[in-house]
Amino acid sequence: MRRAVQTETGIDVTADNLEVARSAETILIGVKPGVVLSVIREIAPVIEGKLVISLAAGVRVTNMESMSKARLMRAMTNTPTAILRGATAVAHGARTTPDDLARARTIFDAVGATVEVNEDQIDAVTALAGSGPAFVYTVIEALAEGGVKTGLPPEVAAVLATHTALGAAQLAAETGKSPEELRRMVVTPGGTTAAGLAAMEKFKTSDGLIAAVEAATNRGREMAKENK
């Protein structure tokens, strides 16, 4: 398998953490939060002075820096990076430099949009961007179910719901208009959209989404206490 990947892509692969850490100048730690610190401890002897970017939720830079003399920072991204539509936030550590931040932005700009935040904001980023796709899929699923309930075939409702969400998001990204401005472009007083928005208000749809982000943020903060 390793040889096949190398032949097909020209990229060296290895199952040895020390091997890759020794040969790379910029290292991404892409493992589950519970094993980040053990990985840092394992590769600490060969990463002194190197840029190391953790992609894990709930593991503070200070805890990683206590185990290594690398230039450590964090990035939180999401699954739409797979289609170059990711949303990523990067946060510096005590040893990272402006050049390190620029390098991180170059990496993540290649797969979507990148912003810089303070590390104490990463838990909120984890909730909004990292967990956010799951919340959006739930909205798409609900829209499609609404379509089915009102008479559309499931496959038709799924296509319409998915592309409605896709198009709305793309319009927001490309125009720079606020969601409120874009919403006003759709609503006609007394019309169908107004009726639908009134139902969403009645069932507190917005409150539910806000609560989802808050709950995910709080869980990220709890994880940070667990992973020390």
The one-letter amino acid at 164: T
Say whether pLDDT at 179 is over 90: yes
Residues with Cβ within 8 Å of residue 196, at least 6 apart in sequence = none
CB of 182 closer than 8 Å to CB of 172: yes
Spatial separation of the C-alpha atoms in residues 157 and 140, rounded to whole Å:
10
What's the whole-model pTM score? 0.88
Please state which CATH number belongs to domain 132-222: 1.10.3730.10
pLDDT single digits (tens) 203-225: 999 999 999 999 999 998 998 88
pLDDT value, residue 168? 97
Spatial separation of the C-alpha atoms in residues 205 and 186, rounded to whole Å:
18
Spatial separation of the C-alpha atoms in residues 22 and 66, rounded to whole Å:
20
Dump the DSSP string for 129-171. Answer: IISHHHHHHHHHHHHHHHHHHTT--HHHHHHHHHHHHHHHHHH
pLDDT single digits (tens) 3-39: 555 657 677 788 889 998 999 999 999 999 999 999 9
pLDDT single digits (tens) 35-62: 999 999 999 999 999 999 999 998 999 9
Characterise 75 by phi-psi region: left (phi > 0), alpha (psi -120 to 50), beta (else): beta
184 pLDDT tier (thresholds 50, 70, 90): very high
CB of 81 closer than 8 Å to CB of 109: no
Spatial separation of the C-alpha atoms in residues 111 and 54, rounded to whole Å:
17
pLDDT value, residue 6? 63
What is the average pLDDT across 103-121? 96
**CB hemisphere CA count around 85 (13 angstroms):** 8
pLDDT value, residue 10? 74
- Domain-by-domain residue ranges, the chain? 2-118, 132-222
pLDDT value, residue 194? 97
CA dihedral 176, 167, 182, 130 (to 10 degrees): -70
186 pLDDT tier (thresholds 50, 70, 90): very high
Spatial separation of the C-alpha atoms in residues 125 and 15, rounded to whole Å:
30
pLDDT value, residue 228? 74
CB of 89 closer than 8 Å to CB of 69: no
Six-digit token string for 225:
């206490």
Share of the chain above pLDDT 90, in %: 88
Spatial separation of the C-alpha atoms in residues 155 and 147, rounded to whole Å:
10
Spatial separation of the C-alpha atoms in residues 181 and 161, rounded to whole Å:
21
Domain 2-118: give its CATH architecture: 3-Layer(aba) Sandwich (3.40)
pLDDT value, residue 12? 79
pLDDT value, residue 111? 97
Please state whether beta strands 86-91 and 71-76 pair in parallel, antiparallel, or not at all (unpaired): antiparallel
